[in-house]
């Protein structure tokens, strides 16, 4: 056994403290979020009361030290929170996930002390953030950015557009990536902190989506948008490193969302199978159905262990490029299979909005797309295994 392998934490479930935390978050989701889910789905907007309670509970700054208004927790705690909320509503969960993994993390990890003191208390205290990397012509090829940052007196002038920005409708603080030197390729990419009220910056249309409908997904537009030097995040030209590092952790959050969705769909299905009768007995007593549910639970547990272990590795300081890709890939594939099965287990009822499984099914699909498609995860895994990259 190598020294690195010996240091890696074993695959484990939860300590008593972790279980209590997850239970508390689930209780919040069950009692506060659940009654509002369908109204939020219809309105295409997360209830602001839910967002406020997430801030009050410390769920919007889980990993940030208490000195900056955070809870002083870990990525694993964020993982548990996202999983628990996703069992009820994936839209509310992704708002929490993005805030923690894609916004708070890079500001804390790469920001100066002055930037931390300025921005983190806002992000943990009531202000929504968003992460802006993707563009209309730059999706999987994330570093083919067309958004430009031109040097001007006292700062930078940003021009371009972003697409598919989660939390874009509510966010007031944005971590934005632009290229300051296109001739250098990805080595010109730089990260900036941009506020919603900055002249030249506008939030575009909200997308009408298949799933996670209450979560806002918008475009962003920059027209000679001035950003001062003290809002450059990290060094000029190392934005690609910030983006990659941030997304590696973010994929754990998506994995957590997927296992939560699958768990929620299975919980609803098991309750239904115990009550629904055909041919004089509950559906839960038919062996064909028993085997399908058993298979689904096994796949869910395998995905959960992948996600949990990757979160623990990250918290322990290990490189998780391959593990993060594997966890996100498998969890999203599992979730798509399991939620599809759950719709079928409900029969015709599963295809209606009277029961929750059709929403779980729709919410699941995004997992194979955002924060890196399944093909991109496969490419990352293959390069690691076969080429040592």
Residues taking part in catalysis: 371
| Separation between Cα atoms, residue 375 and residue 186, nearest integer Å | 21
CB 177 within 8 A of CB 195: no
Owner of token pair 């199978």: 273
Burial of 1 (0-12, 13-18, 19+ CB in 10 A): exposed
Evaluate the CA torsion angle 101, 198, 370, 298 in order and state its sign: positive
Q: Count Cβ atoms below 10 Å from residue 256 Cβ, excluding itself.
A: 33
Cα–Cα distance, 242 to 143 (Å, whole number): 12
**Contact of 249 with 104, CB cutoff 8 Å:** no
Asked if 182 and 143 count as a contact pair (C-beta separation under 8 A), the reply is no
- Name the DSSP class of 184: G
Distance in angstroms (rounded) separating the CA atoms of residues 86 and 80:
10
Helix (H, G, I), strand (E, B) or coil at 318: coil
Tell me the CB-side half-sphere exposure of residue 57, using CA atoms within 13 A: 19
* 174 DSSP β-pair partners: 130, 194
Q: Running DSSP on this structure, what letter comes out for residue 387?
A: I
In terms of DSSP bridges, do strands 217-228 and 129-132 run parallel, antiparallel, or are they unpaired? unpaired
Integer Cα distance of 78 and 86 in angstroms: 12
Hey, is 176 helix, strand or coil? strand
Helix axis angle, 75-86 to 90-97, nearest 10°: 160
Closest CA to 255 of 95, 370, 389: 370
Its sign, for the CA torsion 20, 26, 27, 28, is positive
């Amino acid at each position: 056994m190598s020294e690195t392998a010996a240091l890696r934490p074993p695959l484990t479930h939860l300590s008593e403290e972790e279980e209590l935390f997850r239970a508390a978050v689930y209780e919040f989701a069950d009692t506060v979020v659940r009654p509002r889910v369908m109204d939020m789905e219809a309105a295409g907007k997360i209830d602001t009361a839910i967002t406020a309670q997430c801030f009050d509970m410390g769920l919007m700054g889980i990993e940030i030290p208490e000195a900056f208004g955070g809870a002083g927790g870990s990525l694993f705690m964020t993982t548990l929170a996202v999983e628990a909320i996703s069992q009820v509503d994936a839209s509310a969960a992704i708002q929490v996930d993005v805030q923690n993994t894609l916004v708070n993390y890079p500001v804390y990890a790469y920001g100066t002390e002055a930037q931390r003191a300025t921005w983190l208390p806002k992000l943990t205290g009531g202000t929504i953030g968003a992460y802006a990397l993707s563009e209309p012509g730059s999706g999987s090829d994330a570093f083919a950015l067309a958004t430009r940052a031109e040097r001007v007196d006292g700062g930078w002038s940003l021009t371009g557009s972003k697409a598919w920005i989660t939390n874009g409708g509510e966010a007031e603080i944005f971590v934005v990536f632009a290229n300051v030197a296109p001739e250098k390729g990805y080595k010109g990419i730089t990260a900036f902190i941009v506020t919603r009220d900055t002249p030249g910056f506008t939030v575009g249309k909200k997308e009408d989506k298949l799933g996670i409908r209450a979560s806002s997904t918008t475009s962003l537009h920059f027209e000679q948008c001035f950003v001062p030097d003290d809002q450059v995040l990290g060094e000029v030209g190392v934005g690609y490193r910030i983006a990659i590092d941030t997304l590696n952790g973010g994929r754990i959050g998506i994995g957590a969302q997927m296992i939560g969705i699958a768990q929620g769909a299975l919980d609803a299905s098991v309750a239904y199978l115990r009550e629904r009768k055909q041919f004089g007995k509950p559906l839960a007593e038919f062996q064909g159905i028993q085997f399908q549910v058993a298979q689904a639970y096994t796949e869910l547990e395998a995905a959960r262990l992948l996600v949990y272990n990757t979160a623990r590795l990250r918290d322990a300081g290990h490189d998780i490029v391959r593990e993060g890709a594997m966890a996100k890939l498998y969890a999203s594939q599992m979730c798509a299979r399991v939620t599809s099965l759950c719709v079928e287990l409900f029969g015709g009822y599963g295809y209606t909005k009277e029961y929750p499984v059709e929403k779980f099914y729709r919410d699941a699909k995004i997992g194979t797309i955002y924060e890196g498609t399944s093909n991109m995860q496969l490419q990352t895994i293959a390069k690691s295994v076969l080429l040592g990259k």
